[in-house]
């Protein structure tokens, strides 16, 4: 079964040894994705809802690169720096996935790789190949 790796070109992908998204057959796995723009700058500093929107936009772009889209997502995992931001994060997630309704979890973590990052999201998708 062919494997398709998608990289965004960020400098840390080859250092850490990961792809933004990997597609194998009908399955797509999107790595933990944060609220960065194309230059690597944090979008929405201090605003967990805005960061969630940007992370999901970045996930949508990665999916598109491997022939999938948001409607194919079956599971998301949301890692947050402060669980008190759950409602803003949840509302942003719900605005995107209200009709799709993937399985999801939201977990507070001790910290993310950059202190300005408030949210990191992983996603799994299944593409109907018929």
How confident is the prediction along the chain (130 residues), in pLDDT tens digits per residue?
899 999 998 888 899 999 999 999 999 999 999 999 988 899 999 999 999 999 999 999 999 999 999 999 999 999 999 999 999 999 999 999 999 999 999 999 999 999 999 999 999 999 987 6
**CATH number corresponding to 3-126:** 3.30.1330.40
Beta carbons within 8 Å of 118's beta carbon, 6+ residues apart? 35, 46, 47, 48, 51, 80, 81, 82, 85, 112
From CA 33, how far away is CA 52, in angstroms rounded? Answer: 10
The whole-number pLDDT of residue 38 equals 85
The whole-number pLDDT of residue 11 equals 80
The whole-number pLDDT of residue 102 equals 98
The reported pTM is: 0.95
The whole-number pLDDT of residue 110 equals 97
Return the beta strands (E) in the chain as ranges: 3-6, 21-24, 27-33, 73-80, 103-108, 119-126
The whole-number pLDDT of residue 130 equals 60
């Amino acid at each position: 079964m062919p494997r398709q790796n998608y990289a965004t070109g960020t400098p840390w992908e080859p250092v850490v040894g990961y792809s933004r998204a990997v597609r194998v057959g009908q399955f797509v796995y999107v790595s933990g994705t944060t609220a960065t723009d194309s230059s690597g700058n944090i979008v929405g500093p201090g605003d967990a809802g805005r960061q969630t929107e940007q992370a999901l936009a970045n996930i949508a772009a990665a999916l598109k690169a491997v022939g999938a889209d948001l409607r194919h997502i079956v599971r998301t995992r949301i890692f947050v720096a402060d669980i008190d931001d759950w409602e803003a994060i949840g509302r942003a997630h719900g605005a995107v996935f209200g009709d799709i309704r993937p399985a999801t979890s939201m977990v507070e973590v001790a910290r993310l790789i950059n202190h300005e990052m408030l949210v990191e999201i992983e996603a799994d998708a299944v593409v109907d190949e018929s």
